[in-house]
Amino acid sequence: MISLNFPILSVITYLPLLGILVICMINSKHHDLIRWVAFLTAVAGFFVSLPLYFMFDSNTWHMQFVENVPWIPQFGINYHLGIDGISLLLILLTTFLSALAILSTWSAVTEGVKGYMISLLLLETGMIGVFCSLDFILFYVFWEVMLIPMYLIIGIWGGPRRIYAAVKFFIYTMSGSVLMLVAILFLYYLNYKSTGVYTFDILSYHNLGLPSNIQFWLFLAFFLAFAIKVPMFPFHTWLPDAHVEAPTAGSVILAGVLLKMGTYGFLRFSLPIFPQATVDFVPMIMCLSLIGIIYGALVSIAQDDIKKLVAYSSVSHLGYCMLGMFALNIDGVKGSIIQMINHGLSTGALFMIVGMLYERRHTRLISEYGGIMKVMPVFASLFLLVAFSSMGVPGTNGFVGELLILIGAFKASVGYGLLATVGLVLGAVYLLWMYKRVMYGNITKDANKQLKDMNGREYAYLIPIIIFIIWIGVYPKPFLDKMDASVQHLLQMVNQQ
């Protein structure tokens, strides 16, 4: 275990705040300067977070880079940060996507650039904080803090129904999380009764050995909070609204990182703290995941708006993550984590691609396009690559994740595996059919004849994602190795039951 006195996690978490401070001092008329400061802050955040990967010791499941100082000692609340193999990749994904997301809305947002960039950076702080926190209250604070900037991003810079979408997003998420707060408090006093220590330290709640009926209710409360965030069927209705209305960067972050907080929550809290309930809930969660996979895919097929299609595809993909996780074997869980990263990359990229089309034509209806390949050949090939990654074609990252998840699911039960495979086929259907209608054929609309191919900035934010799409697809070992010890330890805790 590497011990460092340098508080690297705090630096990564609060670096965006420094950027906000600088932006606050810039006159709001200097749009370009504000954009550059925000972008450079996010890039700096990514480069500061890179050493985490190299210095991370993958042989141990113990938390690393730990910072632990009292915050509110009267309640036993600590400022406790640390990461393990599960959160490491998610933090890197966050810093990576944040930088690219800022680049992707360079020209799309022209009003209130200052507030927009401040919101994006604040969001980054919240997200990294969620993945680093090892204290319940600290976690909860970051979890909720992140809501405000996302709410503003959707509500101020979003599409025509943005207010509805933003308020729905906020209230939906909040109603899940307040019940989680009640469960956390309940757990806190339960822990006090059995150990005599007031603490909100998440790790000390592992192996608490709660009676199974209490585990049931607590699991349910946490389940609600996380299932809304994932979102699992039938709590997914906020997602299409939020995605369709959000500006491109908002969608990228929402799909890429925010949804992962739900799945991350399951891994960090539900599984290790309520192992008995986890096992009991497996049939229900598997069912909901399968419904999500198939339902999400079917609804995607029926969409005539590209962005909505991608949004519903997220419901389907996150269903895979949940399926793999609750297969409760090493392949499934590892597949689930890698699939979280994959989904962040490929769906993030899909939203960026939709954003590129939207910036050119200001519509997202599939019927408005057709034959785009003729005018934007490079764009077409990259789009196809990203679509392949999203449907899990071998050689791309999606394949690795889905394969592992399917292995896990088949190991758990053949039925789950078979049904999940149906979802894979449907995934190919909606993506390829959409691709066909948008890109192939003749140009039917005059407005599409003048479209320009991708510009330098667009390459700059799409190419890095594509590099990772192929890298994970071809050689996923460096990523999978990092999470090995943590996942094994996690499963050990669950399987003790």
Partner 1 sequence: MEQVMTTINLSAIYPEIILALFSLIILMLQSFYSFQFRNYYGYVSLIGVLSAVAVVLFEPCGFELRFVEYSFSGMWVVDNYSRFFKLIFLLGTLLTILISIKYLEDEVMQHGEYFALILFATIGMMIMASGAELITIFLGIELMSISLYALTGYTRTRMISNEAALKYFLLGSFATGFLLYGIALLYGSTGTTDIKGISTFLATADIQGSGLIVMGMLLILIGLGFKIALVPFHMWTPDVYTGAPAPITAFMSAGPKAAAFAAFVRIFMDAFPSLQGEWTALIWVIAVLTMSVGNIIALVQDNIKRMLAYSSIAHAGYILVAFLAAGELGITGILYYLLTYTFMNIGAFALITILGGKGEKRIDVQDYKGLGYKYPYAAIIMSLFLFSLAGIPPTGGFMGKFYIFSAAIKEGYIGLTIIGVLNSVVSVYYYLRVTVAMFMHDSNTVKNNEMPALIFTPALIVAIVISACGVLSLGIFPSGYIEIVKQSFLVLQ
Would you say 52 or 184 has its CB closer to partner 1?
184
- Confirm or reject binding of residue 494 to partner 1 (CB under 8 A): no
Candidates 61-69, 167-175, 255-263, 480-488: pick the segment binding partner 1 (CB under 8 A).
Answer: 167-175
Cβ nearer to partner 1, comparing 170 with 479 = 170
The reply to whether 171 sits near partner 1 by the rule CB under 8 A is yes
Identify residues 251-310 at the interface with partner 1 (CB under 8 A). Answer: none
463 contacts partner 1 (rule: CB under 8 A): no
Q: CB neighbours (10 Å) of residue 208?
A: 17
Of 53 and 164, nearer to partner 1 (C-beta) is 164
Q: Which stretch binds partner 1 (CB under 8 A): 71-79, 378-386, 392-400, 438-446?
A: 71-79
Distance of closest approach, residue 72 Cβ to partner 1, in angstroms:
5
Nearer to partner 1, 222 or 379 (CB): 222
Cβ-based nearer residue to partner 1, 72 or 302: 72
Smallest distance, partner 1 to C-beta of residue 102, A: 20
Closest approach of partner 1 to the CB of residue 291, in Å: 26
Least distance (Å) from partner 1 to the CB of residue 175?
5
CB of 34 to partner 1, least distance (A): 14
State which of residues 18, 43, 48, 181 lies at the interface with partner 1 (CB under 8 A): 181
CA 375 to mean position of chain CA atoms = 33
Which span sits near partner 1 by CB under 8 A: 10-18, 143-151, 388-396, 439-447? 143-151
Residue of 73, 209, 234, 283 interacting with partner 1 (CB under 8 A): 73
Q: Evaluate whether 87 touches 132 at the Cβ level (below 8 Å).
A: yes
Q: Does 71 bind partner 1 (CB under 8 A)?
A: yes
Residue placing its CB nearer to partner 1 in the complex, 53 or 186 = 186
> In the window 75-114, what residues touch partner 1 (CB under 8 A)?
75, 111-112
For residue 191, give both structure tokens: 């822990």
**Contact call for residue 21 and partner 1 (CB under 8 A):** no
Give the one residue of 11, 69, 161, 189 binding partner 1; rule: CB under 8 A: 189
Pick from 264, 258, 21: nearest CA to 126: 258
Told to check if 152 binds partner 1 by CB under 8 A, we report yes
Binds partner 1 by CB under 8 A, chosen from 65, 188, 219, 358: 188
For binding to partner 1 (CB under 8 A), which residues are involved? Answer: 70-75, 111-112, 115, 137, 140-141, 144-145, 147-148, 151-152, 155-156, 162-163, 166-167, 170-171, 174-175, 178-179, 181-182, 185-186, 188-189
